[in-house]
Amino acid sequence: MRVIRYLKNAKIAVVLIVLLLVVQAFTDLSLPNYTSKIVDVGIQQSGIEHAATTEMTAKTHDLVAMMLPASDEQTFRDAYTETDAGTYKLNAQGEREQAALDSMAAMPLVAIHNAQQIPDLDLDQALQAYQAGVVQKDQILDMLSEAKSKMGDRGDSIVQQQAIAAARAEYESLGYNLSDMQMGYLIQIGLIMLGLAALGMVAAVIVGYLASRTAAKVGATLRAKLFRQVVSFSDAEVQSFSAASLITRGTNDIQLIQMITVMLLRMVLYAPILAIGGIIMVSRTNLAMSWIIILAVVVIGVLIVVLMKVAMPKFKIMQKLVDRVNLVSREILTGLPVIRAFDRQEHEEQRFDAASANLMKTQLFTNRVMTFMMPLMMLIMNGVSVLIVWVGGSYIDNGTIQTGDMIAFITYSMVIIMGFLMIGMISIMLPRADVAAQRVDEVLNTQPTICDPVPGKAQDDVLASFAGGATIAFSKVSFKYGDSKECVLEDLDFTCEPGKTTALIGSTGSGKSTVIKLIERFYDVTGGSITLDGVDIRAVSQEALRAQLGYVPQKAFLFSGTIESNIAYSDEGMPSERVQAAAEIAQAADFIASKDEGMESDVSQGGTNVSGGQRQRLAIARALATEARAYLFDDSFSALDYKTDAALRQELHTRLSDKTVVIVAQRISTILHADKIVVLDDGRIVGQGTHDELLKTCEEYREIAMSQLSAEELSGGDAA
């Protein structure tokens, strides 16, 4: 199972948790036994636990020794030491052999304290005759066996119960206060139970802390891995998953994995330990009623299987429905201005309601199925309790078990059933967590299509040795998206030279922006090569490549923060002078100065609190603030007025005279004075040259130019 694999880096914590769970299980399983002792020994037996009393009279001592086989007699005598008062007290050796002494002394004590009820047994005469050698031990033992045989099949249980009564009578004959003995026993057992409960509580608290900490670490590790992986993705991988799905996988799915991890460590590991321990304790209590537990476990197993069959298909599709809700929500929030402009609020509300309703119906179905589990489990547990009382009552009546044993058996049965119940509940939740883990693994196991060269073979040093502008050369470059059969770009050959401006123009969909993305290695070429100063860009690391390039995307995007933090995005420690210079070149200095807080003015996420033109100028300033050798402008002047456009181009020409500038534009006026204009049509180069050359030689360029500029402007005037 995938969720369990995430714990491989937390082996020490898991081992500690298992050890602590064993301690917790020990305390939980010990308490019913002590409860049984309180009932059987503390209440019914007046606190007298052992048939072999801690002290007995000399007469009782001698009579018990007489009625024991020779081997047992010596053991018995060694276990007691004579006191100055003429009585016999249990010594240290006897305390170690208490269980054996109880078994030995039970029948003799019963015979001693019930001598008048056993015909033909005069113990005083028998003792005198035995001490005089007239009666042999074998004869005494035969009489004792004959007396026991008359008790029938329940002889052993009757002997044990009567032996305790005999021990109580022995203590009374010695002058012991039985009330004090009973209270002392109850206090002793109570303190032990309190100690066990405290120990169990401490173990449970530590387990909870370790489990939560481990699960949180698993979640944090997964989120970090997922984020690093997504950041390494090219546009192709991001589009294949969708941004909404990646957000769901990084939040909802990992949160579910984290929650299940806590439950795994706290409940799933504990359930089998508790169940196995309960079975062992039940076997020590009474095997005669174990069939009740087996029946209950079988019924629970059938119930869990039925619930899993019903609920499992819904669990598997629930995460996809969460994806759908996130997708619709994200689209609505992002496209709110468009929705309002076309008055489609009601339609989008219906679309969101449909996605939300599908998720709600699925969750309601699974929750309703799960609501049946607890009542049915309680019915099973209560039914088991009634069955145990009914069967146990007959056993108590027969003298097979005592009342406390039945109480302990009920408790152990509940422990075992609860253990299997926890396993059942988790087994229903695990498939959903497994689906979440599968979705996370799907992202983590996706290999980015854009990869750095093998370490040691990257030519980063070669690239770093150049200064000034960079020479960007396309050599028979072709490109197609994914498994598409049609090429978006085909057989491109051109060079962008240092100190010159190269412009790309063409109709919509001709591949202009794709050319810029290929230079940035957002995608890799499918044919030919792109070189930077003669080095294939695939032979250098992405970091080294992009350090050479200043990029302004077609859609200007700003991060939440301040104007200064956005311009200095490439280097948080960037000097303020460079930030100011970049803003001046980008024609952003005036509107920044007009703000009350200047460079410290707040920028909302996406730059929604500034105009389109201001956002575009800040994006340009962000690229210009880098120490790049080539600047790529992907239709970055579209939101600028002609005056600002002309001033910006003049500043670029003046201040970036030794840099390489590549401009993608829709407006002829923006690229009119470019050193080289590359005209694209349907992914192919249909013309290269200056403005004047293309007007004469390229029909496609002439059509674009004539649609935008007047004859005077085409003949050499400035459109600005």
* DSSP letters spanning 61-106: HHHHHHTS-HHHHHHHHHHEEE-TTS-EEE-HHHHHTHHHHHHHHH
CATH code (residue 529): 3.40.50.300
Shared domain for 661 and 529, answered yes or no, is yes
The band of 713, judged by pLDDT with boundaries at 50, 70 and 90, is low
Q: Is 635 left (phi over 0), alpha (psi -120 to 50) or beta?
A: left
48, 181 contact by CB (below 8 A): yes
Q: Is the pLDDT of residue 604 over 50?
A: yes
Asked which of 132-146, 335-349, 583-597 is least confident by mean pLDDT, the reply is: 132-146
Shared domain for 168 and 299, answered yes or no, is no
Q: Is the pLDDT of residue 716 over 60?
A: no
Residue 51 within any structural domain of the chain: no
Residue 719's CB: how many other CB atoms inside 10 A?
17
Q: What is the DSSP letter of 583?
A: H
Mean pLDDT computed over every residue of the chain: 84
Give the per-residue pLDDT at 630: 92
d(CA 540, CA 389): 79
Give the per-residue pLDDT at 116: 53
Across 41-45, 192-196, 380-384, 480-484, which has the greatest mean pLDDT? 192-196
Mean pLDDT of 449-467: 80
618, 556 contact by CB (below 8 A): yes
Q: What is the DSSP letter of 718?
A: -
Give the per-residue pLDDT at 621: 92
SS3 48: coil
Taking only the tens place, the pLDDT of each residue in 393-414 is: 777 777 666 777 777 777 777 7
Q: Is the pLDDT of residue 464 over 50?
A: yes
CA 168-172-173 angle, to 5 degrees, is 115
CATH code (residue 314): 1.20.1560.10
Residue 452 within any structural domain of the chain: no
Q: Is the pLDDT of residue 66 over 90?
A: no
Residue ending a domain, choose from 392, 420, 444: 444
Residue 185 within any structural domain of the chain: no
User: Quick one: tokens of 349?
Assistant: 């509300």
Tell me the torsion sign for CA atoms 359, 365, 366, 368.
Answer: positive
User: Quick one: tokens of 380?
Assistant: 């099973």
Residue 353's CB: how many other CB atoms inside 10 A?
12
Are β-strands 676-681 and 501-506 bridged in parallel, bridged antiparallel, or unpaired? parallel
CA 226-229-234 angle, to 5 degrees, is 135
Alpha helices in 133-269 (DSSP H): 137-149, 155-173, 178-232, 235-241, 243-248, 254-263
Q: Is the pLDDT of residue 18 over 50?
A: yes
| Cα→Cα distances 180→36, 43, 95, Å | 20, 13, 21
Residue 614 within any structural domain of the chain: yes
Mean pLDDT of 199-208: 94
Q: Which residues contact 7 (CB under 8 A, 6 or more apart)?
A: 14, 214, 218, 261, 264, 265
Shared domain for 142 and 275, answered yes or no, is no
- For 557, the enclosing helix (H) or strand (E) is none
Give the per-residue pLDDT at 120: 56
d(CA 29, CA 274): 8
Residue 79 within any structural domain of the chain: yes
Q: Long-range contacts: 184-188, Cβ < 8 Å, 24+? A: 184/47, 185/41, 185/42, 185/47, 185/48, 185/49, 186/38, 186/42, 186/47
Shared domain for 111 and 131, answered yes or no, is yes
CA neighbor of 524 nearest in space, from 235, 242, 239, 243: 235
- For 492, the enclosing helix (H) or strand (E) is strand 489-496
d(CA 120, CA 400): 29
d(CA 25, CA 275): 9
Are β-strands 535-536 and 602-603 bridged in parallel, bridged antiparallel, or unpaired? unpaired
Give helix 612-624 / helix 576-585 axis angle, nearest 10°. 130
Mean pLDDT of 610-622: 89
Give the per-residue pLDDT at 151: 57
d(CA 313, CA 303): 17
Phi, psi dihedrals of residue 700, rounded to the nearest 5°: -65, -45
Higher per-residue pLDDT: 283 or 550: 550
Shared domain for 542 and 663, answered yes or no, is yes
Q: Is the pLDDT of residue 146 over 80?
A: no
Mean pLDDT of 192-203: 94
Give the per-residue pLDDT at 720: 43
> What DSSP assignment string belongs to 648-701?
HHHHHHHHTTTSEEEEE-S-HHHHTT-SEEEEEETTEEEEEE-HHHHHHH-HHH
Taking only the tens place, the pLDDT of each residue in 297-311 is: 788 778 777 877 777
23, 203 contact by CB (below 8 A): yes
d(CA 190, CA 582): 79
Q: Which residues contact 410 (CB under 8 A, 6 or more apart)?
A: 385, 388, 389, 392
Shared domain for 153 and 256, answered yes or no, is no
Shared domain for 266 and 319, answered yes or no, is yes
Across 50-59, 196-205, 397-406, which has the greatest mean pLDDT? 196-205
Taking only the tens place, the pLDDT of each residue in 210-231 is: 999 999 999 999 999 999 888 8
422, 268 contact by CB (below 8 A): yes
d(CA 264, CA 5): 12
d(CA 247, CA 268): 29
SS3 631: strand
Mean pLDDT of 386-392: 82
Mean pLDDT of 598-626: 88
Shared domain for 231 and 339, answered yes or no, is yes
Residue ending a domain, choose from 619, 650, 674: 619
Residue 19 within any structural domain of the chain: no
Give the per-residue pLDDT at 400: 67
Q: Is the pLDDT of residue 154 over 60?
A: no
Residue ending a domain, choose from 392, 415, 444: 444
- For 290, the enclosing helix (H) or strand (E) is helix 290-334
Shared domain for 62 and 110, answered yes or no, is yes
Q: Is 556 left (phi over 0), alpha (psi -120 to 50) or beta?
A: beta
Residue 522's domain comprises: 460-548+628-714
Give the per-residue pLDDT at 212: 93
Give the per-residue pLDDT at 117: 53
Taking only the tens place, the pLDDT of each residue in 401-455 is: 677 777 777 777 777 777 777 776 676 677 778 878 888 888 888 888 888 888 7
Alpha-carbon dihedral angle through residues 412, 418, 420, 425, given to the nearest 10 degrees: 180
Shared domain for 278 and 376, answered yes or no, is yes
Q: Is the pLDDT of residue 354 over 50?
A: yes
Give the per-residue pLDDT at 233: 83
Shared domain for 525 and 465, answered yes or no, is yes
The band of 121, judged by pLDDT with boundaries at 50, 70 and 90, is low
Residue 160 within any structural domain of the chain: yes
Strand order in the sheet with 660-664: 549-552, 630-634, 660-664, 501-506, 676-681, 684-689
User: Quick one: tokens of 258?
Assistant: 């984290």
CA neighbor of 515 nearest in space, from 702, 679, 639, 690: 679
Domain count, the chain: 4
Q: How far apart are the first and last CA of the chain?
A: 66
Give the per-residue pLDDT at 266: 86
Taking only the tens place, the pLDDT of each residue in 529-555 is: 999 988 999 988 888 888 899 999 888
| Cα→Cα distances 685→475, 488, 505, 678, 702, Å | 12, 12, 10, 7, 15
Shared domain for 611 and 659, answered yes or no, is no
Give the per-residue pLDDT at 719: 47
Residue 17 within any structural domain of the chain: no
